Amino acid sequence: MKYVFGALKKIRIARPVCAAAAAALLLSGILTSARESAIFTPKDGRPVLIVAHRGVSKFAPQNTIPATEKAIKMGLDFVEIDVRTTKDGRLVLMHNESVDGTTDGKGLIKDLTLEEIKKLDAGYKFRQKFKGTRVPTIEEYYAAANGRINTYLDWKDATPEALADAIIKAGAIETTLIYGGSEELRAIRKIDPRFMVMTECDSELILRSVESSKLKLDAMASNVESFNPEVAALAHKLGMKTFIDIQTSADNCSGVKKQISIGADAVQTDNPDMVLKCLAPKKPEVQ
């Protein structure tokens, strides 16, 4: 994922930073507080939550049911998925705007119907054994995931109403953390204040703006270049969990341990098998 320097700190290109979210939500009169939830408790006593980036995309096609099933089988805490809208208003899982990169088709998702997208092969480019894998709808995803693994939902392109309806119908409010921009989060919280939300917060200065506005979100997202002990401490003071992207040169055992030492509550990775091995208790040496 690309980053750029802003006036304050590095931020993700496509997302407003937490300061913008704070201002927008404060003006709307919606002040929310982070909640303790089972989804923020790592499995097996691990010191950090493990988030599989686009599912376990190392072993199965990204944003597909096989990638989700692999994450469940591995005992991970979260699957990160990307949600977009088809021409006929259906929600599907795909990171890019077009189907070109991961399927045998061409065109923008917003210009294709669900029927057209369902004819595409989302697996053959990854590995022959996955030939015939289909692009899942959000309903199909939740049918496979809900109650078995938590969801980090990256809100790419969907109306608040459609996204809220899908999550509520799946009974997945308590297992879903929504990542988005300020206007998106404000809108979905108006629909139902139970939604757990997260946005980008990449500096202590930005977090201070949240504190002064008396706004608290459930979590903040950051990257290894920006995350530091001061940001971690302030985020925790404000009641936010810290979700750190390590899918860079830091996606290794030393990178994981460094983020934990700084104060990460979750790491998003392309190598969850490495993270599991890194965090596994050491066996006592045989005398």
The residues annotated with a catalytic role in the active site are: 53, 95
For 142-164, b/e burial (b = at least 16 CB within 10 A) is: bebbbeebbbbbbbbbbebeebb
Which residue's structure tokens are 């985020």? 235
Could you give the CA distance from residue 283 to residue 260 in angstroms, rounded to a whole number? 21
What residues are paired with 103 via a beta bridge?
Answer: none
Could you give the CA distance from residue 106 to residue 32 in angstroms, rounded to a whole number? 41
Largest CA distance in the chain: 66
Nearest to residue 62, comparing CAs of 79, 84, 39?
79
Could you give the CA distance from residue 53 to residue 35 in angstroms, rounded to a whole number? 24
Tokens of 38: 């089972």
Tokens of 233: 């401490």
Q: Are the beta carbons of 91 and 169 closer than 8 angstroms? A: no
Nearest to residue 38, comparing CAs of 276, 264, 259, 218?
218
DSSP three-state, residue 85: strand
Amino acid identity at 97:
E
